[in-house]
A and B are shown apart, each in its own frame.
Chain A
Amino acid sequence: MAVVKLPTQLRAAAGGDGEVRVEGETVGAVLDALYALHAELRDRIADADGTLRRFVNVYVNGDDIRFGDGLKTPVPAGAEVQILPAVAGG
């Protein structure tokens, strides 16, 4: 079980939830489980072919998966998976 943490601008697409608990041993599997619960999120996070959109960062326990193994990055049990899109409000 991993805890996916969603930023403000993605919460509406997840029924208002800021945290979603899903199963999955890799980032790809966790995200697929997330999309199964909230289909609208897929489009916000991934391109049509399933790869992450370039302006969305994903962190497993604080580490950016771009510098890990991408979608194949392992997600340990209980890990926090943070979705982080760029924000420019000031």
Chain B
Amino acid sequence: MSPSGAEFIKQIKSEVEEVDPSDVESLLRAGESSNGHGPSPRVAVVDVRESDELVSGKLPGATAIPRGFLESRIEATIPDRSQKVVLYCASGARSALAANTLVRDLGYEDVVSMKGGITLWKDRGYDVEVPFAFTPEQRQRYSRHFLLPEVGEEGQRKLLQAKVLLLGAGGLGSPTALYLAAAGVGTIGIVDDDTVDVSNLQRQVIHSTATLGVAKVDSAEQAIHALNPEVKVVKYQTRLDSSNIMDILEGYDLVVDGVDNFPTRYLLNDASVRLKIPVVSAAILGFEGQLSVFAPYDGPCYRCLFPVPPPAELAPSCGANGVLGVLPGTMGLLQATEVMKLVMGTGTPLIGRLLMYDALEATTTELKVRRDPECPICSRPPEDIAPEEMGVFPDYEAFCAAAG
């Protein structure tokens, strides 16, 4: 009489070597300490569950081969039959059957099956690696991105995992923050020490009459979360200066420069070169905007373009100046576009080029920006840029003070 299914599995389990999750865990940890990342090549971990079972996570570094594909795919993953192989599934039955196949039919010499499967592994509190998967809500929210082959799932995943720092939640930062949040940029940092004033509302569309007097970082956070609650907003209600810039910038993939003064722009440049973080930079005045991307060591930096700032009497940023309300919208969204391209690795970024936009004439002009071999900052290796020289240039603060 043929055995029952349960009896058959029991019989197979008694024939293959079973190990406890704790043994697998120590094997993996030994592998990590020997080569620094992932399991040692001497141990291959294979998850034999079906692909829809993987969404809740798998063992770190495990390769997924559903049991139905085991015979056809195992050799591509593990060509060496003497290699140690750990198999697991949900509870330990399918991996026992798979282990039996590998040993009996395919000649693998050192195969074990993990007892209790990933269920027991998780119960023991060991780490799992959760593969990236879009939620049904994300699939709908970003559906127009999925339709674009240039964005697609890969591009959207990169956006969701991106960390972008906005300097200023003002004219340029407002539209940039809103559209990056809408596009699903996962983490948006905002640096601004100001509060919302009624004179801001002619152009700073992330704020509203209802948030007058509120800190701009808080007002911006409210608007971002109203648009897309899953964006993580990191608020820095402070002025960027040499004492905090390195701590704030560290860990971001990209910086969006919309600051309204030269000292901070130079400071930002030097710190971003030091940390090798690309800066998407825009500046506006009146009816005109400038836009460029400064990618440290891949292209020029801000100092290659403008070695020194203008003196205060010729630097309109030192005092209050007029600006057409929509202009920061136009320029901010060009910045947001460059951010998305850089994050997704799509298209041709505005590196080594400067785009000028004249709203009154409705004209654009493109200028070449070259890396200056004598640039005081980016002609040197990043580690040679000392903290005390960052953002330094002759007498600028004094000029600004003199201009009032």
Contact = CB atoms under 8 A, between A and B. Distances in A.
Contacts of A90: 168, 170-173, 257-260, 282-284, 328
B391 interface: no
Given A67-B370, A90-B258, 15 more contacts: A8-B286, A8-B288, A54-B308, A55-B306, A55-B308, A55-B309, A57-B306, A57-B367, A59-B367, A62-B365, A84-B356, A84-B367, A86-B283, A86-B306, A89-B316
A28 interface: no
A87 B321 CA distance: 12
A69 interface: no
Interface residues of A, number: 26
A72 interface: no
A7 B288 contact: yes
Contacts of A63: 368
Contacts of B288: 7-8, 87
Interface string A52-90: 011111010011101100000000000010101111111
Contacts of A82: 356, 365, 367
Interface of A: 5, 7-9, 18, 44, 53-57, 59, 62-64, 66-67, 80, 82, 84-90
B242 interface: no
Interface centre among B307, B314, B358 (most CB of A within 10 A): B314
A79 to B, nearest CB: 13
Contacts of B323: 89
22 contacts: A5-B365, A7-B288, A9-B314, A18-B361, A44-B314, A55-B310, A55-B314, A57-B305, A63-B368, A64-B367, A67-B370, A84-B290, A84-B354, A84-B356, A85-B314, A86-B310, A87-B316, A88-B262, A88-B265, A89-B171, A89-B323, A90-B284
B309 A88 contact: yes
Nearest to B259: A90
B308 A87 contact: no
Interface centre among A64, A80, A89 (most CB of B within 10 A): A89
Interface in B347-390: 354, 356, 358, 360-361, 365-370, 372
Give the interface SS of chain A, mostly helix, strand, loop or mixed.
mixed
A63 B328 CA distance: 26
B252 interface: no
Interface centre among A5, A55, A66, A80 (most CB of B within 10 A): A55
Contacts of B309: 55, 86, 88
Nearest to B359: A8
Interface string B286-308: 11101000000000000001111
Contacts of A7: 285, 288, 356
Given A18-B361, A44-B314, A54-B307, A87 B290 contact: yes
Contact of B285 (A59, A62, A87): A87
Interface in B220-269: 257-262, 265
B330 interface: no
B368 A86 contact: no
B287 A8 contact: yes
Contacts of B358: 18
Nearest to B328: A90
Interface string B322-334: 0100001000000
B306 A89 contact: no
Given A8-B285, A44-B314, A88-B283, A59 B368 contact: yes
A66 B372 CA distance: 10
B359 to A, nearest CB: 10
Given A87-B316, A90-B172, A9 B262 contact: no
A9 B285 contact: yes
A62 B366 contact: yes
A82 B356 CA distance: 10
A60 B132 CA distance: 49
Nearest to B302: A86
A5 B307 CA distance: 21
Contacts of A59: 367-368
Contacts of A89: 171, 260, 283-285, 316-317, 321, 323
